[in-house]
Structure 1
């Protein structure tokens, strides 16, 4: 196995924390994968991985080396694509991550469309409700909902969403419609921890009007919050795209829309050195087409 294959094997093992899984992805035997990393460590004169019968973890030296390996392999792959000219087609592997519900509703359809149109392309789509570090975790494109803090990343805004209050018609019939923000204190509230970490709900055009909530139910997924609200447990606050189907079907209604805080942007983010990648460009073009003219805010027409 040559040096380049050794590097690819090391990155795969580090990404999956498993020689067996890395070997499966690379279509080599686990023994070959183990030998490749061992040869690389011997050549470098330092251990890159700590191996036990139960786990594979990076050493400090391995973690530092991994980041440089990713950058080097990315540059090599992009250089190869550049040699093919502007007509180069997507191929190889594209790694994408997105929040769970947003990814299932919007990023998965974009991905399946790309796969149908480009037979040489493979996509690894990870749906997870946390901010993923692109460089450290080998991500090509990530979806970020909310204001961006990392100025080192390139970003493309593709949509807006809102924080909305929702409840079932049955709950409203029994308890009445709250007409002011303070009236929420007299209602049963459902907290979705992904957007309510501090148990604080903000309102108003500037988002500066805040109330401290004491939820009757706290859940960690949007689906659970929406299901509980639809079942009449109380009033939930979720992101508008998460509740669109339930509102459209009449299972939920929105409340206090006039007091809603400002919309939240949805961005695709990627590293600066990935902007020339054929795969990344193809994904971004497909995303532009998907979100064009699509309103995820749930505002009344």
Structure 2
């Protein structure tokens, strides 16, 4: 257990040294692939590369890993340069190398580092014999190209999947945020509804109480009004009796007044006649007085004249 911890620490130290030595991210990932595969016997993967380097996006280690396998295939390609090798031997050697390479690929993809080291040793051991299989090597190269094409397609598919995952994650985040906001709005509306119901209940109780009091006041007012109306009716009846009595008295007084008025009118008429007569006499007396005054004035003048 301690050996694994020391190796991990040492590996991380060497990766940090490579990060200082190379400035380009692609170069760093390439060198880390070489370090893992050839020095530590670890099959490099995109996740493991990113775990040690932690630079760029996830597409950077995947691209570096793809180029590493391509370079490794190019360097281990079988070339046949001797034309005197029999075709059957070349075919058998090519099949052997192809099978060996496929097994190495499967071991690398499955993460069996020990099998990869053995496969590399076998590849180096049979490298001279593999050079006799040039014709089949071309077919192998074609298959490898197809595999690379499939790998590129897989890489593109992974990129598209990562993009869709990112888009879906963003959409899900927005939907969760919207859901939280709607939940908050729903809680607020529920609280407002509860408050409104409570307020409505209080208002309804107050209105019912006001209606009850108003009804009590109306009943009391109605009773009071009925009593006042009854009193008014009694007063009206009493007033009608008094008016009837007063009318009878008024009729009697009016008849008496008319009689007295007739008497007084006769008296006034008689007095008017006397006044007319007296007025005529007064006029005559006034005339006589004027005459007598004139005579007296004339006599006074004569008397004064005689004395002088």
TM-score, normalised via structure 1 length = 0.24
Pick the structure with more strand per residue.
1
Say which structure, 1 or 2, has more relative contact order (CA 8 Å, 6+ apart): 1
Pick the structure with more helix per residue.
2
